[in-house]
């Protein structure tokens, strides 16, 4: 036995850490403040890097059951004219988020991790004490803060270096629809508004509507079909099917360090990333698995240091490139067209954008 690990947060980051640590001999308990494991945000894209992590922790098969195999991403304007196309030469799946959460939870439980709902973490100390909302204090050899972008544990340790709301946000929605097998996702642009058509399984269509945060009518819920149809008249029939959804403003944050003593911070709590290249959960899962790998042969202090030193540069790169791909939203239309046209053709830019997806994560075989 390696020791006791207390994980706070049952999202993609916390659950992956639970699997990977329990599979390496840690006694793992995961605290989730909600009454059950559930995830907001409908669908998600998982790229080669994330798929490798799912495979390594034993959650790939269940996650990918009925998953949508994505072969290409088109960018189109409001008149349906093609601006650019990217053919994936790696694996990419559209997945229903809840299915991935359930698959990770099942794998964590199989490995012996205990998942405790209705249990909220409020603070942690570098010497390994976790304070819960019910007043209990628990000692652990390792505490993993995976409590999302508003992480209480991170803030109790003063680790935040920089946090900012970005100028844009997104409504995510999903409905049952049998989708074609052409392997195509499409991002439509109209002015500063975007509509992402993205199957999340062979039976679920995930739609993400992005807009500047100050575009109040476009981010209204239930979805303002009149407003969105005005922007995308050719998609009127699709827009008519939208109703319920969830709006989130994009955020970006960086930490001074990814750990303090016996506490490691992972996922959005450590490195919230705007979703322009769809790698927030990918990085969360890679870093969670790597954490367990670095602690396999090292003590906690050395292991956490090595982990951050080796893994953080790729996450930093992912954050930078994702910010870059969000910038054209606020450029004049002509310039934006030029950027996406160029971005589609530039080998260098494509390599930068896909570097994270092509990375072979620590703890997975090449
Ligand atoms: C519009 C949009 C689209 C995206 N698309 C993609 C994509 O296609 N691909 C991709 O890889 N990423 C994508 N992302 C990013 C991805 O959703 C996040 O990076 C990922 O969900 C982060 O996982 P997490 O486990 O760190 O945090 P979360 O998912 O936020 O999970 C945190 C968990 O901790 C729990 N919790 C919070 N506080 C406490 C507490 N104090 N005590 C106990 N439990 C607590 C919460 O209830 C939750 O269950 C997207 C994000 C957005 C906004």
What rounded mean pLDDT belongs to the chain? 95
Q: Could you tell me if the CB of 16 is within 6 A of ligand 1?
A: no
Query: How far does the centroid of ligand 1 lie from the alpha carbon of residue 151, in Å?
Result: 11
Q: Could you tell me if the CB of 245 is within 6 A of ligand 1?
A: no
Answering whether pTM is above 0.85, one says yes
Instruction: Give the tens place of pLDDT for each residue, 142-160.
Output: 999 999 999 999 999 999 9
Instruction: Give the tens place of pLDDT for each residue, 23-64.
Output: 999 999 999 999 999 998 799 999 999 999 999 999 999 999
Lowest mean pLDDT among 236-250, 290-304, 336-350: 336-350
* pLDDT band, residue 168 (cuts 50/70/90): very high
Q: Could you tell me if the CB of 354 is within 6 A of ligand 1?
A: no
Write the residue with the smallest CA distance to atom 15 of ligand 1: 280
What is residue 73's predicted lDDT score, i.e. its pLDDT?
Answer: 93
Give strand pairing partners of 184. Answer: 72
Q: Could you tell me if the CB of 170 is within 6 A of ligand 1?
A: yes
Residue 342 gets which letter from DSSP? H
Q: Is 70 exceeded by the pLDDT of residue 366?
A: no
What is residue 244's predicted lDDT score, i.e. its pLDDT?
Answer: 85
Q: Could you tell me if the CB of 169 is within 6 A of ligand 1?
A: no
**Token digits for 166?**
């970005």
**Token digits for 60?**
């790939």
Write the residue with the smallest CA distance to atom 2 of ligand 1: 275
CA separation for the pair 294, 300 (Å, rounded): 9
CA separation for the pair 279, 46 (Å, rounded): 8
Q: Is 70 exceeded by the pLDDT of residue 311?
A: yes
CA separation for the pair 212, 249 (Å, rounded): 9
What is residue 1's predicted lDDT score, i.e. its pLDDT?
Answer: 66
Q: Could you tell me if the CB of 172 is within 6 A of ligand 1?
A: yes
Residue 284 gets which letter from DSSP? H
Are the beta carbons of 213 and 219 closer than 8 angstroms?
A: yes
Query: How far does the centroid of ligand 1 lie from the alpha carbon of residue 180, in Å?
Result: 29
Instruction: Give the tens place of pLDDT for each residue, 182-191.
Output: 999 999 999 9
Radius of gyration of the chain (CA): 20
| Average pLDDT, integer, range 198-202 | 95
Are the beta carbons of 81 and 73 closer than 8 angstroms?
A: no
Torsions phi, psi for 22 (to 5 deg): -65, -40
Q: Is 70 exceeded by the pLDDT of residue 104?
A: yes
What is residue 84's predicted lDDT score, i.e. its pLDDT?
Answer: 85
What is residue 345's predicted lDDT score, i.e. its pLDDT?
Answer: 85
Find all residues with CB under 8 Å of 246, minimum gap 6, and list them.
40, 41, 42, 171, 172, 173, 221
Place of tokens 């997104």: 170
CA separation for the pair 134, 26 (Å, rounded): 25
Are the beta carbons of 259 and 153 closer than 8 angstroms?
A: no
Q: Could you tell me if the CB of 94 is within 6 A of ligand 1?
A: no
Place of tokens 């807009």: 211
* pLDDT band, residue 141 (cuts 50/70/90): very high
Q: Is 90 exceeded by the pLDDT of residue 334?
A: no
């Amino acid at each position: 036995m390696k020791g006791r690990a207390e994980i706070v947060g049952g999202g993609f980051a916390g659950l992956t850490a639970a699997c990977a640590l329990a599979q390496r001999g840690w006694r793992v308990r995961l605290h989730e403040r909600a009454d059950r494991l559930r995830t907001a945000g409908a669908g998600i894209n998982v790229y080669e890097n994330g798929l490798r992590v799912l495979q390594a922790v034993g959650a790939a098969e269940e996650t990918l059951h009925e998953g949508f195999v994505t072969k290409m991403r088109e960018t189109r304007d409001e008149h349906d004219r093609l601006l650019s196309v990217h053919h994936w030469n790696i694996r990419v799946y559209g997945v229903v988020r809840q299915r991935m959460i359930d698959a990770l939870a099942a794998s964590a439980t199989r490995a012996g991790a205990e998942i405790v709902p209705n249990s909220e973490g409020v603070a942690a100390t570098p010497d390994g004490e976790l304070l819960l909302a019910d007043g209990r204090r628990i000692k652990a050899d390792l505490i993993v803060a995976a409590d999302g972008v508003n992480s209480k544990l991170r803030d109790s340790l003063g680790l935040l270096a920089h946090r900012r709301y970005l100028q844009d946000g997104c409504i995510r929605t999903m409905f049952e629809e049998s989708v074609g097998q052409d392997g195509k996702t499409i991002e439509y642009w109209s002015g500063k508004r975007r509509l992402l058509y993205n199957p999340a399984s062979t039976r679920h269509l995930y739609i993400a509507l992005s807009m500047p945060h100050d575009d109040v009518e476009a981010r209204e819920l239930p979805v303002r079909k009149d407003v969105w149809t005005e922007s995308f008249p050719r998609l009127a029939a699709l827009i008519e099917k939208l109703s319920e959804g969830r709006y989130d403003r994009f955020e970006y944050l960086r930490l001074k360090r990814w750990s303090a003593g016996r506490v490691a911070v992972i996922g959005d709590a450590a490195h919230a990333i705007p979703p322009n290249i769809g790698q927030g959960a990918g990085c969360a899962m890679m870093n969670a698995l790597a954490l367990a790998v670095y602690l396999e042969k090292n003590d906690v202090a050395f292991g956490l240091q090595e982990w951050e030193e080796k893994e953080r540069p790729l996450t930093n790169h992912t954050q930078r490139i994702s910010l870059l791909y969000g910038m054209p939203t606020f450029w004049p239309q002509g310039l934006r067209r030029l950027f996406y046209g160029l971005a589609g053709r530039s080998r260098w830019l494509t390599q930068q954008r896909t570097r994270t997806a092509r990375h072979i994560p620590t703890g997975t075989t090449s």
